[in-house]
Amino acid sequence: MKQEEINLTQIEQKAYRVSFQDGLVEIMLGILLISLGATLGSVLYVFAILIPIFLFPRFIEVIRKRYTYPKIGYAKLPMDDPKKTAKGIFSYTAVVLALMVICFLLFGKVKDAAAYKKWSPALMGVLMVGGFLYAHGKSGFIRYIVFAVLAVVSGLLFSIMSFESYDGLIINFFVMGGIFIVTGFTLFILFIHKYPKSTKETKSDNV
């Protein structure tokens, strides 16, 4: 039974690896982070969060129909239970926030608004870790572990540095966003070169 479960996990990871090797998710994540950094503190911040939730999945699908699926084919990936996923995100966020408050209590900073602003980049980094670990579990890509470590290191670095207001968080949004966009476009270019022909062209060549 255990061997069967391992095989199923490996098969699912292989499907995700094939589908997510084009780097489009990283590009969209980068755009999202830069948008959040550009709108932080304004009324547009809410739109920077909500609009991508509805538009990015459709936008990625349009690009994949044009560039990805013709080269590697289309496979419908198994979807997680939305309620279970939302519960997991909420639980993880609640635990991280609770730990942050406990740390502030221990150091007598729980009522210090400046402390929350100062350590907001670190909070962002730790929150992102949950998503990267989830992505790693689904795909098996080592790069998501690297992203998780990078998010924490970057968050701590910009928290330790002295910034006024949420400037550290804004800069962190831009830095991380830039990293993901560069990584995403690099992966996309490598994908195009790895699969220069569509599946139809490959089949016709073999006839």
DSSP 46-112: HHHHHHHHHHHHHHHHHHIIIIIHHHH----PPPPPHHHHHHHHHHHHHHHHHHHHHHHHHTT-TT-
- What 3-state DSSP class applies to 165? coil
Distance between the two ends of the chain, CA-based, in angstroms?
42
Asked if residue 148 lies in contact with residue 128, where contact means CB atoms within 8 angstroms, the answer is yes
Q: Residues 6 or more apart from 189 whose CB is under 8 A from it?
A: none
User: What is the reported pLDDT for 207?
Assistant: 40
Model confidence, pTM? 0.83
Residue 71's nearest CA partner among 19, 29, 113 is 19
Contacts of residue 71, defined as CB under 8 A and 6 or more positions apart, other chains included, come to 191, 195, 197, 198, 199
Distance CA 16, CA 7 (A): 14
Residues 6 or more apart whose CB falls under 8 angstroms from that of 133 comprise: 144, 145, 148
Residue ranges for the chain with pLDDT beneath 50: 1, 3-5, 202, 204-207
Closest alpha carbon to 175 in 151, 159, 156: 151
Instruction: Provide the pLDDT for residue 206.
Output: 43
Residue type, 34: I
Q: Tell me if 67 sits within 8 A of 22, measured CB to CB.
A: yes
Owner of token pair 């870790």: 129
pLDDT in tens, 3-46: 444 566 677 777 777 778 889 999 999 999 999 999 998 888 88
Nearest to 72 by CA among 144, 137, 7, 17: 17
pLDDT of residue 38: 92
Q: For residue 125, which amino acid is it?
A: G
What are the Cα distances from residue 184, in Å, to 5, 26, 35, 61, 151?
Answer: 31, 5, 16, 16, 16
